[in-house]
């Protein structure tokens, strides 16, 4: 119980609880990086094929998306490939054919704090691993949708699912606050609908971070990570979210 309790933290995009570990300097980050040549060679063996849509998308409107990319250069890609190898047995940083969408909240008051949490590539504060955590999208309270990372790249946002999950962060401090904000929710539902229809992701695989351990796609080869999750977006609140999403079906699937 204690281990589980300790593992269940709050939101995912804030500085709280994310202060860099003592000695987490840039040079330490480099020192912890995998052997570049070995990973690069293996990664090169897997072509970086962009994820292909599995369902028609023509009739699902793409919401306006503000491009606000965090730095995700060659070093971070190599670190993500090494992370994927350790945790999933896959030496690649490429996200292809995603099967899950995970909803999060940032535990920050604004988008910039979340951006500044994800942008520097330092070991995360929880497990002290590289690369730093991130999410592909961020939904702000004013309805702006920011894309922080390309859909072809993996992000560390949900232990056990980063190999196949798209992460959507919401600026805020609780599920209830976001569910009660019609502007933010409208943007969130438009984005999630477009993504799930584009990739043919079923409604049940649109989950909250707190539901991660019960996902059929959850797996992690590192024991310390196998039962780790966060408290953001409970099952009850995701039931409400999915009910709203169900009113916006994909044309060809539901």
- Minimum distance of Zn ion from residue 104's CB (angstroms): 3
Phi/psi of residue 208, nearest 5 degrees: -90, 155
Q: Which is nearer to Zn ion, 115 or 250 (CB)?
A: 115
* SS3 state at 63: coil
* Listed ranges 77-85, 119-127, 142-150, 223-231: which one lies at the site for Zn ion (CB under 5 A): 223-231
Rounded to whole angstroms, the Cα distance separating 2 from 128 reads 20
Residues binding Zn ion: what is the number (CB under 5 A)? 5
Query: Would you say 77 and 180 are in contact if contact means Cβ atoms under 8 Å apart?
Result: no
Distance CA 137, CA 73 (A): 18
Instruction: Pick the closer one to Zn ion by CB: 76 or 209.
Output: 209
Interface with Zn ion in residues 230-249 (CB under 5 A): 230, 232
Looking at residues 54 to 113 of the shown chain, list those that interact with Zn ion (rule: CB under 5 A).
Answer: 104
Residue 170 touching Zn ion (CB under 5 A): no
Structure tokens at 75: 């070093």
Which CB atom, from 91 or from 133, has the smaller least distance to Zn ion? 133
Q: What's the distance, CA 109 to chain centroid? A: 19
In SS3 terms, 117-136 reads as HHCCCCCCCCCCCCCCCCCC
Cis peptide before 127 (omega within 30 of 0): no
Give dist(CA 144, CA 191) in Å, integer: 10
At closest approach, how far in Å is the CB of 188 from Zn ion? Answer: 14
The interface mask with Zn ion, positions 1-30, x = CB under 5 A, is -----------x------------------
Contact pattern for Zn ion over residues 183 through 222, marking x by CB under 5 A: --------------------------x-------------
| Separation of alpha carbons 47 and 93, rounded Å | 11
Q: Which stretch binds Zn ion (CB under 5 A): 37-45, 108-116, 211-219, 224-232?
A: 224-232
Instruction: Give contact residues for Zn ion (rule: CB under 5 A).
Output: 12, 104, 209, 230, 232
């Amino acid at each position: 119980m204690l281990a589980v309790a300790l593992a269940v933290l709050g939101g995912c995009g804030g500085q709280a609880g994310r202060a860099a570990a003592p000695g987490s300097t840039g040079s330490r980050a480099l020192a912890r990086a995998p052997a570049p040549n070995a990973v690069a060679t293996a990664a090169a063996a897997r072509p970086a094929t962009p994820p292909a849509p599995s369902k028609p998308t023509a009739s699902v409107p793409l919401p306006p998306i503000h491009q606000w990319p965090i730095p995700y250069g060659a070093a971070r890609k190599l670190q993500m490939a090494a992370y994927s190898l350790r945790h999933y047995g896959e030496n690649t940083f490429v996200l292809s054919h995603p099967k899950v969408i995970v909803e999060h909240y940032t535990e920050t008051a604004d988008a910039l704090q979340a951006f500044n949490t994800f942008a520097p590539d330092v070991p995360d504060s929880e497990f002290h691993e590289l690369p730093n955590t991130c999410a592909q999208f961020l939904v702000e309270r004013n309805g702006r949708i920011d894309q922080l990372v390309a859909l072809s790249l993996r992000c560390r946002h949900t232990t056990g699912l980063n190999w196949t999950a798209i992460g959507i962060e919401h600026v805020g401090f609780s599920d209830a606050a976001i569910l009660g904000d019609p502007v933010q929710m409208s943007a969130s539902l438009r984005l999630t609908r477009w993504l799930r229809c584009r990739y043919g992701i079923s409604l049940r695989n649109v989950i909250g971070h707190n539901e991660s351990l019960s996902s059929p796609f959850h797996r992690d080869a590192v024991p310390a990570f196998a039962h780790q999750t966060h408290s953001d977006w409970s099952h009850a609140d995701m039931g409400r979210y999915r009910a709203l999403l169900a009113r916006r079906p994909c044309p060809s699937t539901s």
